[in-house]
Amino acid sequence: MISPYSLTLPGGVQTQILGLAASLRRAGVDVRVLGPCDGPPPAVGITPLGNSVPTAANGSIAPLAPDVPAQLRTMRALWEENFDVLHLHEPIAPGPTMTATLIKPCPIVGTFHAAGSSAAYRYINRGCRYLLSRIDLKCAVSQAAEDMAHEMIGGTYERVFNGVDIDYYGTAKPHPTLGPTIFFVGRHEKRKGLEVLLDAMSQLPPAVRLWVGGDGPETARLQRSTAGADPRIEWLGRLDETEKASRLRGADIFCAPSLHGESFGVVLLEAMAAETAIVASALDGYSRVAEQGIHAELVPPGDASALAAALGTVLFDAGRASHLVRAGIERVEQFSMDRLARRYIDIYERLG
């Protein structure tokens, strides 16, 4: 299994790769993960391919490894190991997955995660179509991811989903709170909508607290802003998975106010597994995971007043919050990582 992104840095694709590898191993599959690592590998069974280089992608910064040494390490690993199947995540991303597609020592499964737009797909379309032809079975984690890949490079895709380790989040020790508490975690960049959440906080009662996890290019500016300087806001910085799970369990609401670019709401599933109510933007990627009024309160992206109203309703209406939590627990069972692993085992066996 190959990651184009640094496995030691936080990210949705990296979390999926590491979680899926663990579930596959529990099911008896021998898995080796290859990927960039900016530091010691975060788990067993990982072959590090060198450091990553921050690269602009989809309105964010992706920790890719397009340099020559990383490609040479990828090639060496593929030549020395007798793999039965290669599973590439974001196979057209510059770096190890693209190199593996070119070498192709065995059948390839490619999983497409991204939604929105891709400069790589747009500007090297012909080359991308060639690479796509070398992938034996193509998967997409959502309708949005499939739509983008199909629009840019064509092809047909088998729909899978992003998984979540339900037991991990469901048994985490809740972090203590000092009052009604909202939790946000994500990269501090415009598309994640943190500024909208800060504006919404100014419309909520004085007792409400906000935990802000993560960092990014907008952190300093947002902290200096009038809304960001609110003493009710605790800026946590980058969180490891243990603290993230603890904060999810401890908070009354998990808030995902993203503006665009979300292909699949895996972080919403993590909140459901942690038995926490959700308020989020009504994006297609989120709506396919959480139905409005049943699993979450979904509001128009960028509307701070609507976001504040939804947050207030869930925080101070215990019955409403309990309904969302119960429905979320039932919903997340459909997206367990072990279930996803069984789905991929079937795919691997078809190619074997």
| pLDDT score of 177 more than 80 | yes
pTM equals 0.82
- pLDDT tens digit sequence for 130-160: 888 999 999 999 888 899 888 888 889 999 9
Q: What is the pLDDT of residue 127?
A: 65
DSSP string for 229-258: T-TTEEEEES--HHHHHHHHHH-SEEEE--
Split at pLDDT 50, 70, 90, the class of 288 is: confident
Average pLDDT of every residue of the chain: 93
| pLDDT score of 299 more than 80 | yes
- Looking from the CA of 78 toward its CB, the CA atoms found within 13 Å total 27
Cite the DSSP H helix spans in the chain.
12-26, 68-80, 96-103, 119-123, 125-133, 143-153, 166-170, 194-201, 219-224, 241-250, 266-273, 284-287, 304-316, 318-332, 337-351
Q: What is the pLDDT of residue 115?
A: 76
Please enumerate, as own/partner, the contacts of 307-313 that have beta carbons within 8 Å and a separation of 24 or more. 307/196, 307/197, 307/200, 307/255, 307/257, 307/279, 308/200, 308/201, 308/203, 308/204, 310/279, 311/182, 311/200, 311/204, 311/208, 311/253, 311/255, 311/279, 312/204, 312/205
Q: Which domains are assigned to the chain? A: 12-163+337-351 (3.40.50.2000), 166-335 (3.40.50.2000)
Amino acid at 144: A
